[in-house]
Structure 1
Amino acid sequence: MVIVVGSGAGGAAAARYLAEAGCDVLIIERGPALSGKDAGSSYANVDAGVRLMRTFCLGGTTMVSGGNALRCLEDELLDCGIDLSSHFAAIEKELAVAPLPDHLIGEGTRRLITAAEKSGYPVHPMPKFINPDLCCMDGRCAFGCPSDARWSALRFLRQAEADGAVIRTGTVVDDVILSHGEAAGVRSGSKVFRDDMIILAAGALETPRLLQNLSLPTTPLFADTFVSIGGLLSGIGMNMDVPMGAYIPFEGGILLPHYSRTLQALLGNKGFEAGQQDIIGMMVKIRDDDCGSVGSEIRKDVTVQDAERLIQGSAYAASILTNAGADPASLVSAPLRGSHPCGTARIGISVDTELQTAVPGLYVTDASVLPKAPGAPPILTILALARHAAEKMVT
């Protein structure tokens, strides 16, 4: 049997492919099983200087993602000795990855695309794993998908179950058990689950703690720190747009069309009365420095270089927003957040190119293994890495 700790992108993918190959798989998840429409209740964010976003539920943060499917860090991983090209292609085909059709591009997003292109910015359609025939265009992808139009890890988990995998929710793994220096199981309170192959996929804020308990090396934290910026544009209705329908790369990261609820109160504080339908916004997401740490406390700071990247990206976003019709006097920015905690068990330090640690039989398949901050949504890359690792485990 293989024990998989965590059921987000990396855990679900590893479980699915191993079960498909005939392995007995036990998936252990600390959170509950929730429907798509209720997934927003699973947020368990951490105030760590930068507010770090995560969820505790079956399916992990795939339950509240924007459905974005970029090939992040493909070249960087190739430099590490991992060629994911075939895995990317297979997953893109299975998930029917494609840009949104024109009728799902909302007016706010369309205006931002037009304004950016007129200003000479390179605008690209965002590849998505969203079924356009099911999309309800409620603009609430980050709080769960009530129509199941967006792919989530639940689909891989159900496929794993169909191949015999067992899922156990509401179970927190406290420690990995070793026997003669090799993986032998996990402990949850007084319960012990035994097997000689353990996959840690509990997320970049929990996986390193389990490694530290074994005195294994861990690495500093990235988080793809971002800021939401927006302003007043009456009746634009961007709150109903499918989020992030396009992306604009810049030197320090990426700009994305993005509506955030937090902007409404900030506009009010500035003296602008705005309903949710009156706000147009963008996200500035950077490839941040690895100045975070996970231990008894979690910390994520902002370096001078990070601040410069955020300032540069925010200036670009403000220009695009103004050219799209936002009142320049109304522009506000939300507190810093980090939507992609990663890098705390990096390839080449904590794991090898097969994602195995120095402990035989102990693997990591979540965002912890990423060698650099992606500066963009990493779900597709995590899926590809987990598929790569599962293939190596089987062979």
Structure 2
Amino acid sequence: MYVVIGTGAGGAILARELALNGLPVTILEKGPYIESKDAFDYYDKYSEDVDLLTTTCIGGATIVSMSNMVRALDEELLDYDVDLSDAYEYVEDLVGVHQLDDSHIGKGTQAFLDAGYELGLQTLKMPKAIREKDCIQCGKCAFGCPADAKWSGKDFVDDAVEAGATLICEAEVTEVLKENNKVIGIKYIKDGSEEIIEADKVILAAGAIGSTLILRNSGIKDAGQELFFDPFVSVGGYIKDINFNTEVQMAGLIIGKNFVLSPHFSSFIRANLPGDDITDNDILSIMVKTPDECRGYVTEDGDVVKINTITDIRYLAEGAATAGFVLEKAGVDPATIGSTVYRGAHPGGTAPIGKIVDSNLETEITDLYVCDASVLPISPGKPPILTILALSKRLADYLISE
């Protein structure tokens, strides 16, 4: 029996690939099985000090993601004997990665792209896994897609169940059971009762924080001593009736040396703008996202502590300044440009390759694997979903070949 814990990018494709190859799979998800349109209600809150965007429900963070699909850490992972070339090609074809048709590039996004080109920045449409025929261009990608037009881990979980996998939702895994340092099962809590499932192999894909707590409870105490997340702010300003808030979000991309920029609506910008007659329809904003130096950690209680280095702050400042130039070139009144507070997304690095797992993503406990953003050895500074999918496809192939 293969037990997969978590239904985000890592767990979902693993369960799908194993089940489609006729292997017995049980999937456990801490959160409920929901409709995509309801995902906004399942964002997590870690502490008052860290605004970290994650969710607990079927599909994990993928269900509220923008379905951005960019390759990250290709060269860096080669240093750990991890080559994702074939896995990337397979996954990109499977989820239909492509740049959106012009029919789904709105006025605000086009202004962002045009400004990037004019400023000589490395500018392109964002590769995505969105089905234009279903997309209603409502601007609510981060709330959970009301039209089910974008890929999420939920899609692959459904495929796995159809192929014979068993799905258990609202089940909180607490510990991996072992004998002679080899996996024999897992322990979980559902409806207040403790249950045990026997297992030959266990794959943790519960996210950087969730996987950390399970690893520690299972005897791997060094998990969670390091943690990164991509710091980001949104910078925006006033353009009358731009209607950017109703567009497909993050459909463009500017790649800098130490940051990436993508057009992303934030209603928090409005509080910084002068005048009471400005509405969400009048705001064009850009997300500034940077890598960080992995100076955080997960506490024993599962809280997140984040330490910002001078380099982290410098990269964010560089990105925010560049975003200001792009906004002004795009037609934003420079006197109105403001920023949101600092937030974080895509936590990872808590069980890194080379320290907690080997190049096949196996821990020191035989037949216990980790396959989510936990295993990334450094912060990608880019959306990590495609990289996690490729890592999981590679792991699935390895497990199937065994």
Given the alignment of the two structures, is residue 78 of structure 1 paired with residue 87 of structure 2, yes or no? no
**Cα RMSD (Å):** 1.3
Q: Which residue of the other structure, out of 344, 352, 365, is the alignment partner of 2:358?
A: 352
Aligned to 2:255, the other structure's residue is in SS state: strand
Deviations 1:230-257 (A, max 9, x none): 1111100000111111111112121111
What residue number does 1:51 align with?
51
Structure 2 distance, partners of 1:17, 1:55, is 24
SS of residue in 1 equivalent to 2:51 = strand
Q: How far apart, CA to CA, are the structure 2 residues paired with 1:213 and 1:295?
A: 13
What's the CA shift string for 1:165-211, capped at 9, x where partnerless? 01000111111111121111111242111212111110001111111
Indicate the SS of the match to 1:224.
strand
How far apart in 1 are the matches of 2:164 and 2:68? 29
The SS at the match of 1:168 is: strand
Structure 2 residue 136 is the aligned partner of structure 1 residue 139: no
- Any stretches of 5+ residues in structure 2 without a counterpart? none
Shift in Å at residue 79 of structure 1?
A: 1.9
Deviation, structure 1 residue 109: 0.8
SS, match of residue 47 in structure 2 = strand
Aligned partner of 1:90 in structure 2 is 90
Is 1:207 the counterpart of 2:207? The answer is: no
For 1:1-395, list aligned pairs within 5 A: 1-47=1-47, 49-189=49-189, 190-216=194-220, 217-218=222-223, 219-267=225-273, 271=275, 273-296=277-300, 297-395=303-401
Contact 1:50 1:336 in 2 (8 A): no
Aligned residue for 1:198, secondary structure, equals: strand
In structure 1, distance between residues paired with 2:111 and 2:212: 42
Aligned length: 393
Once the 2 structures are TM-superposed, how far is the Cα of residue 271 of structure 1 from its aligned partner? 4.6
Q: Residue 48 of structure 1: CA displacement?
A: 6.4
Q: Distance in 1 between matches of 2:269 and 2:188?
A: 41
Q: In the TM superposition, what is the alpha-carbon distance from 1:272 to its structure 2 partner?
A: 5.6
Q: What TM-score, normalized by structure 2, do the two folds share? A: 0.95
Which AA in structure 2 matches 1:179? E
Partner Cα separation in structure 2 for residue 115 and residue 320 of structure 1: 6
Work out whether residues 139 and 249 of structure 2, in 8 Å CA contact, stay in contact via their aligned partners in 1: yes
Aligned to 2:321, what secondary structure does the other structure show? helix
Paired residues of 2:235 and 2:269 also in contact (CA < 8 A):
yes
* 1:301 to partner: Cα distance: 2.2
The DSSP-based 3-state class of the residue aligned with 2:320 is helix
For residues 31 and 250 of structure 2, what CA distance do their matches in structure 1 show? 27
Question: Any idea what SS the aligned residue of 2:71 has?
Answer: coil
Alpha-carbon separation, structure 1, partners of 2:322 and 2:48: 27
Q: Give TM-score scaled by structure 1 length.
A: 0.97
